[in-house]
A and B are shown apart, each in its own frame.
Chain A
Amino acid sequence: MGTVSLNTPPTGMPHVPEPDLHQVLTPEGHRRPDHDLDPWLEDVTATMLAGLHRDMTVIRRLDTECTHLQRQGELALWPPLLGQEASQVGSAAALHREDYVFPSYRENGVAYLRGVDPLGLVRLWRGSTYSGWNPAETNLAAQQIIIGAQSLHAVGYAMGLRRDHSEAAAISYFGDGATSQGDVNEAMVFAASYHVPVVFFCQNNHWAISEPVTLQARRHIADRPWGFGIPAMRVDGNDVLAVLAATRRALERARNGGGPTFIEAVTYRMGPHTTADDPTRYRSKDEVEAWRAKDPIDRVEAHLAATLTDSDRDAQGGPLTIEAVREASATAADEMAAALRTGLAGLVDPGPEALFEHVYAEPHHELARQREHYRLYLAQFDGEQLEAGAR
């Protein structure tokens, strides 16, 4: 075997300049001009920024609440999105109602912005239900667990949109690790070949469980789609405005018959992969701290603090101050969390009969036979044991 170590770039590769990281808000909250993105941000106001601040604050709170609920044994598992708020809020804020979202397990913030009740997410991750929302109301598919598989579903959905001459687009969310899967690459081939209205939204959060993104890609992930014939953009995923603008741009291209676009949102998973993971086993404190300094919420706050003027007004016409923004966001988060806790107390676990539900759309004699066997089996036990038997 050769001696090339996994982490040294292969020699002899022609040097191609890396595309810039598109950034509109610096970590310090300064607004930077960006030729490609600025046209998509002309409607940005202080009120709108306050709204994005609120949404990011609420989903961060939702995320921490659910992480705690898992630790308290209320949820079986939870995949934290901490650190990825701007990627999720910025992209979801760009979507129209009729656009269709194909998420992975981590897009709980996107789900919230699609109108999913946080309690729906809790019910789902607790196992009280298989569906925490009505997809017809939210245009949000079920969360995908098989890495990358949803990218193909988004392409198929977009093929249908194109056939229907619809104005809507499909968007597929996935991670940096997913870009190594055949499904994601094949999805790009199909999307390019059929020129369908789809956005591939990759949250490069730098880790796939314990594997760093450098194991998946020697160059920027956003370099790869070009080879499939898909324009790509690499944006600061902790910059909610950059993400919003890039997603708007990609969606608009899709709506206007411009075909697929790929967005690499460069962000960082601040928490564990899931509540079952211990990230201190594979990454350094320094790395995490360096990313903490690029916090997506802090930078919006810094920006607002520096730019709000006496003439900025809140929805009620009162003066919009940074304190007011902070307070409004914190109140919204508190209200969401309180409702979540109250709702949690009323959740009912599914009864044993749920075992045979939704295996087929239509009744089915084999399933009916199994259900009957199971009923008879449970009936063998007395009341007390019946519970234990179902347990």
Chain B
Amino acid sequence: METTYREAMRTAIREALLQDDRVFLMGEDVGAYGGCFAVSLGLFEEFGPERVRDTPLSESAFVGAGIGAALNGMRPIVEIMTVNFSLLALDQIVNNAATLLHMSGGQFNVPLVIRMTTGAGRQLGAQHSHSLEGWFAHVPGLRILTPATVEDARGMLWTALEDPDPVLIFEHGSLYNLSGELAEDAGPVDIHAAAVRREGGDVSLITYGGTLPLTLEAADRLAAEGIEAEVLDLRTLRPLDDAAILATVVKTHRAVVVDEGWRSGSLSAEISARITESAFYELDAPVARVCSAEVPIPYARDLELAALPSAERVVAAAREAVGGGG
């Protein structure tokens, strides 16, 4: 069955609402409007205003209320329009959702799922376009998911809801229109393992979320030049699947990390560090990174594209890793 990432996500929310009456969705414009990115379209009509709930405009309030509802046994799905606006709820996410289990001596679980759009590419300016999932991946107590395929858009939510801890799901805005084949019986998927999206023996391209499509495109172009790239989709940024990262590096001896986040103090830095810590002697070339320019993401179209990782850059980095190695 051909479907889009957006529809797969909607199906996942719908199924969760059907299967568990503790589940409800809340956020800005998620009701009759169907969400700013049309993910929840039709759900308000089907489930009503109690379970598909528009909130007043306060990210801090609706995330905090989500925590409260989760503490009392509900299974809230909170939607934040973009990751930039999650910064208004940072206290609730980092100081509260992530710590309440610990600070209550294990008494309080926070089975909360927060979904948000991340990333650039839609000419929305710096205050709408950053990729801050790497920041959240810094925080113990949170689980960070980055579905990049229709299967994962369809399957990660339910598993996240079953998880007793707070889970953040990052949906890259450029993926919503992505279409792909989804099995009729597609359902929940695991949320702990990375996935090899393409096999290859010459270089490992390690990525996640919004940069998966361009990384796969880069791998195709490299193949045309005779370079076989392996593409690893991390899928979950916290905890990281160290074994999968290690396995691909041991196989290819070269790694390029592709991350739309900024380079300094980043997730790509973490991956690079883990590779050098655990597979240093396997490497035939320095670990390379393709990240966004370290500037606020520009509004002007050309500048925005120039700031972001592109297939060309991944190809260039992979060539250098392969050509420059022993």
Contacts and interface: CB of A to CB of B under 8 A. Distances in A.
Given A127-B301, A182-B58, A391-B305, A145 B294 contact: no
Given A127-B123, A209-B33, A180 B57 contact: yes
Given A145-B128, A352-B306, A391-B302, A216 B57 contact: yes
A374 B293 contact: yes
B303 A350 contact: yes
Contact of B54 (A1, A211, A352, A370): A211
A177 B296 contact: no
A349 B300 contact: yes
Given A145-B125, A208-B57, A127 B28 contact: no
Interface string A275-311: 0000001100000000000000000000000000000
Contacts of B124: 77
Contacts of B36: 209
A44 interface: no
A345 interface: no
A133 B146 CA distance: 40
Interface stretch (A193-201, A319-327, A354-362): A354-362
A163 B313 CA distance: 52
Given A390-B302, A391-B305, A210 B127 contact: no
A145 B130 CA distance: 14
A352 B303 CA distance: 6
Given A182-B60, A209-B36, A349 B54 contact: no
A389 B310 CA distance: 9
Nearest to A278: B33
Interface in A1-43: 1, 5-6
A366 B29 contact: no
B301 A76 contact: yes
B114 to A, nearest CB: 18
Contacts of A367: 294-295
A281 B33 contact: yes
B280 interface: no
Contact of A146 (B127, B301, B305): B127
Contacts of A45: none
B303 A181 contact: no
A350 B316 contact: no
Given A211-B54, A216-B56, A355-B307, A6 B299 contact: no
A380 B32 contact: no
Interface string B22-43: 0000001101111010000000
Contacts of A146: 84-85, 88, 127
A181 B61 CA distance: 8
A355 B264 contact: no
Nearest to A216: B56
B85 A209 contact: no
Interface residues of A, number: 43
Interface residues of B, number: 42
Given A128-B300, A215-B54, A355-B298, A366 B264 contact: yes
Given A181-B88, A377-B313, A391-B302, A356 B295 contact: yes
Nearest to A281: B33
A178 interface: yes
A282 B33 contact: yes
Contacts of A183: 88
A282 B127 contact: no
Contacts of A390: 302, 306
A177 B33 CA distance: 16
A361 B316 CA distance: 32
Most A C-beta atoms less than 10 A away, residue of B50, B127, B299: B299
Contact of A352 (B34, B49, B302): B302
A189 interface: no
Contacts of B127: 145-146
A69 interface: no
Contacts of B306: 352, 355, 374, 389-391
Given A76-B301, A356-B295, A211 B28 contact: yes
28 contacts: A5-B50, A6-B54, A76-B301, A127-B123, A145-B128, A146-B84, A146-B127, A148-B57, A180-B61, A181-B57, A209-B29, A211-B54, A211-B56, A211-B57, A215-B56, A281-B33, A354-B298, A356-B295, A359-B295, A359-B296, A366-B294, A374-B293, A374-B306, A377-B316, A380-B316, A389-B306, A389-B312, A391-B302
Q: Nearest 9 A-B pairs (CB), nearest first?
A: A127-B300, A210-B33, A180-B56, A177-B57, A180-B57, A76-B123, A145-B127, A210-B29, A127-B299
Interface of A: 1, 5-6, 76-77, 126-128, 130, 145-148, 177-178, 180-183, 208-211, 215-216, 281-282, 349-350, 352, 354-356, 359, 366-367, 370, 374, 377, 380, 389-391
Given A146-B84, A370-B293, 11 more contacts: A210-B31, A210-B33, A211-B56, A281-B34, A349-B300, A350-B302, A355-B295, A355-B298, A355-B303, A356-B293, A374-B306
